[in-house]
Amino acid sequence: MTRFIVSIVSFLLTGAHAFVVPATQTYQKQRSPIVRQSALDEIRETVQDQVSNGAPLVEQAHQAGYNLPGLHWGHGTVMAIVFVTMGLTGAWLGWQIRLGNGERLTSSGETIRERHPKIMSGVLMLFIVGALLGMAALNAQGQPILESPHARTAGVVLALLAIQATLPNFFASSRFARATHAYLGSATVVTILVHIINGIRHCTHTRCRCCCVTIELLLVSDQYNKSTLTMVASKFLLFFALLNTVAALLPKKVKRVPAGRKYKKHDDVHIVVNKVGPFNNPIETYRYYSLPFCQSHSTEDEEEEEADAENVSIDRVTSRREAAIRHRQRLGESMVGDRRESSPYEISFLDDVEWRLLCKVTLDQKDLKKFKEAIHNNYFFEMFVEDLAMWGYVGDVADEDILLDDSRTVLFPHLHFKLGYNENQIVSAKVTTDLERKVDITRIDIPKTIKFSYSVEWVPERLEWKDRMSRYSEHQSFVPQSFEIHWLSIINSCVLVLLLTAFLLIILLRVLKNDFARYMDLDDESLEEEESGWKLIHGDVFRFPENSDLFCAAVGTGNQLLVMTLFHISLALLHVISTTRRGSIMAGVVVLYALTSIVGGYTAMRLYKQMNGKNWVRLAVTTALLFPGPVATVFMVLNTLALMHGSTSALPFTALLTVTCLYCFVSFPLTVVGSVLAKNYANGDFNAPTRTKKIAREIPTEIPWYRGRAFSVAVAGFLPFSAIYIELHHIFASMWGHQIYTLFGILFLAFILLVIVTSFITVALLYFQLAREDHRWWWATYVNGGMTGFFIFAYSFYYYFNRSEMSGALQASFFFGYMAVISYAFFIMLGSASFQFSLAFVRYIYSRIKSD
């Protein structure tokens, strides 16, 4: 390893010598066309000679276990990481300077103007190192270095970066240099993208199907080289190191106030504003300051003047806070559309405020129109004190007369904060509007001066800090009351499920018992004459299904979703995941899906191995993409719509990067690891109780309609759906409303009953299918079990148009898009569970009869 590191240093030094010395010598010569061509040949030869110095490096890396494809693609991987994490961030910081935001602070304490040249210097250095190592990899593989478009664009990129590094020296004397620097930076980014495309095309021609080759090496090889695993781990560490670097360079975000902070009297209490949006459309939310609210506090002179007018006393504000500074957010908060920002409200612990002016602003027609449209759309706002949420309405439509079209639009400019405390901790928070201080903004054709103000009231409470979130699951004025437990309906559902399951079980046991007795009592000659029904197809029932790789991937993905759901509900039931924060529930789904990917990869590969499948790579990739692929497609469409509307429902770049990293560096690798473990260690024998005939038996075509596929599919979906209908209504009201779902114990019970009743109904339908001598049961049981997902999606239409007050294109797109994803998840999950119950049933009945 020491020799390896020394070789790297030596190679970099000799590479630098190769470019610096020839350039100095060439500069002193008189140029001519012949000499110029000679100089180019000399440079080409010099580069080739100096790149050859990297041969010992590549050779030692190859001896250490790093294969050439890994080195070849490793260059592209590392350079892509540098470009995405550092290059794009540096470009974004540069344009922030161009837009006048250069003095904004980063989390490291430096301004954007100070950080931009530092990160771009690092990009230039890493690109030079990457160019040298890339040329060394090409040389080791015997490929030309300077002839490919990929190499030429690399030279252009390095030249542009060098020019960019010199232009800041002329900023003080030339505005043209600044403009050139900005637009040349954009041109550099475009050139890098062209360079990447050329590199992918070049690598595809020379080392095609690299991803499949890498996975195949993992799947086929029985011995894993320690150095290879070290190389992969080092790439992951490099990525996360660069990611942390980027996080340090992003514009400053205020640290969130920790929940449970212990205050002293007169300590500052921070009010954090979050978002606004139509009350009936919970997804259609926007930043709080998308409406022209106050972003700065009034001055002391203004407060005294307005206090005299209001005939109230005031306490002087000794500090002025800056508003609209974004707060750091958790992944789940970003996923549910939270965009927390600081506010100018000045509140101190245990200090009541009778009245205080926040700001006095004159709103023009444009601002008044924003407020009026928001009020007519029933906008609400959301604020936080620590982690305690507060809600209120922006305004109201008063004296509304639909027939006469006579109504007044009033704005609520005064907020009253009622904060509860227990000793030195804040345990409750509530905000209300003052109807006595409302402002009529019906007419928007003339500017209007509005005084925004607030008051504060502190009340002692006996509520313990650990129980502070219980208020959100109880009755309150803004958010509708949490669900009343309809025990009678739930008990009826449980009784229905148990009776239905018991009925089907008794029928099947009686029928099977009679069949067993009849088949076991007959001798071989009589059996051939009397053989009919499900016994007749014993030679075809274990014939593997068509598209076995897709089937195995679907079963594996369903098992993964089933395990993830059980874990998630269990953690919520144990209060490991907060049930009062939607963000925690969403983040839990994403993280648990990534961590349970090994289950999907293992179970899919084990079944595929038992079916004598050969295309291991395609199965692993299919399993990893079967659910995330459609989800990503729906998400991209919805995220684009949200961006077009300016809604906070659009996932921020940092959250999107986090989710992408979870999939690329946790979920996908764990799927591959599970596949590797199953291929090498799982039992590959299917052990069918009967032998499969070479020629498939013909399937009867004349069957009654009530025994056909359409009827079976309808029954298979409707009966399980009827068992969860009541609970599903409450879940919808929580997901697409402002209610908070806390009955996770009942949800856990309902989910278990759903899986059981779906599986038993599928088994019953399977028996009738086998009895009509149809041996194509593999896909049939999967589809029958998953049909509940289609009924859930159909119910979503009924709920949207008949049970909710949602409206608008954005809300409808998110509702039906995400309901399609949820229904798809239920289809895969219940289909997988039903198939495995059915497989156990088929094994059992055919292992108990006589057969040839």
Q: What is the pLDDT of residue 668?
A: 94
Q: Which domain holds residue 127?
A: 67-249
Q: pLDDT-based confidence at 592, cuts 50/70/90?
A: very high
Instruction: Let me know if residue 515 belongs to a domain.
Output: no
Does residue 88 share a domain with residue 41? no
Instruction: Let me know if residue 701 belongs to a domain.
Output: no
Percentage of the residues of the chain whose pLDDT score is greater than 70: 70
* Cβ atoms within 10 Å, residue 709: 14
Q: pLDDT-based confidence at 309, cuts 50/70/90?
A: low
Instruction: Let me know if residue 173 belongs to a domain.
Output: yes
* CA-to-CA separations, 79 to 86, 132, 190, 242, in angstroms, rounded: 10, 12, 15, 12
pLDDT digits (tens, 9 = 90+) for 738-783: 877 777 888 888 888 889 889 988 988 998 888 888 888 999 999 9
Helix (H, G, I), strand (E, B) or coil at 544: coil
pLDDT digits (tens, 9 = 90+) for 141-153: 566 666 677 777 7
Residue type, 404: L
Does residue 559 share a domain with residue 491? yes
Q: What is the pLDDT of residue 1?
A: 40
The answer to whether residue 177 scores a pLDDT higher than 60 is yes
HSE-CB of 795 using CA atoms within 13 angstroms: 22
Rounded-to-integer distance, Cα 741 and Cα 483, Å = 7
Does residue 37 share a domain with residue 171? no
Rounded-to-integer distance, Cα 778 and Cα 541, Å = 9
CATH number at residue 179: 1.20.120
Q: What is the pLDDT of residue 59?
A: 54
- CB within 8 Å of 315: residues ≥ 6 apart: 351, 353, 356
Q: What is the pLDDT of residue 203?
A: 59
> How many domains does the structure of the chain reveal?
4
Q: pLDDT-based confidence at 307, cuts 50/70/90?
A: low
pLDDT digits (tens, 9 = 90+) for 488-530: 556 766 777 777 778 777 877 776 676 666 656 655 555 444 4
Does residue 321 share a domain with residue 403? yes
Q: pLDDT-based confidence at 300, cuts 50/70/90?
A: low
pLDDT digits (tens, 9 = 90+) for 798-827: 999 999 999 999 999 999 999 999 999 999
Question: What single-letter DSSP state applies at residue 145?
Answer: S
Does residue 771 share a domain with residue 642? yes
Provide the β-strand partners of residue 356: 454
Does residue 335 share a domain with residue 294? yes
Instruction: Let me know if residue 258 belongs to a domain.
Output: no
Give the residue-averaged pLDDT of 614-633. 92
Instruction: Let me know if residue 507 belongs to a domain.
Output: no
The more confident residue out of 400 and 199 is: 199
Instruction: Let me know if residue 758 belongs to a domain.
Output: yes
Rounded-to-integer distance, Cα 159 and Cα 161, Å = 5
Instruction: Let me know if residue 538 belongs to a domain.
Output: no
- Mean pLDDT, rounded, of the chain: 77
Q: What is the pLDDT of residue 185?
A: 80
Does residue 74 share a domain with residue 47? no
Last residue of a domain, one of 30, 53, 76: 53
Does residue 309 share a domain with residue 413? yes
Does residue 580 share a domain with residue 431? no
Does residue 276 share a domain with residue 339? yes
Does residue 675 share a domain with residue 742? yes
pLDDT digits (tens, 9 = 90+) for 180-195: 877 788 888 888 888 7
Least confident span in 63-77, 419-433, 461-475: 63-77
pLDDT digits (tens, 9 = 90+) for 711-731: 889 989 998 898 888 888 888
Q: What is the pLDDT of residue 404?
A: 53
Q: What is the pLDDT of residue 299?
A: 61
Instruction: Let me know if residue 300 belongs to a domain.
Output: yes
* Cβ atoms within 10 Å, residue 849: 17
Q: What is the pLDDT of residue 852?
A: 47
Last residue of a domain, one of 222, 249, 276: 249
Q: pLDDT-based confidence at 367, cuts 50/70/90?
A: very high
The answer to whether residue 642 scores a pLDDT higher than 60 is yes
The answer to whether residue 39 scores a pLDDT higher than 70 is no
Does residue 458 share a domain with residue 370? yes
pLDDT digits (tens, 9 = 90+) for 218-242: 444 444 444 444 454 444 444 444 4
| 705 CB burial (10 A radius; 0-12, 13-18, 19+) | exposed
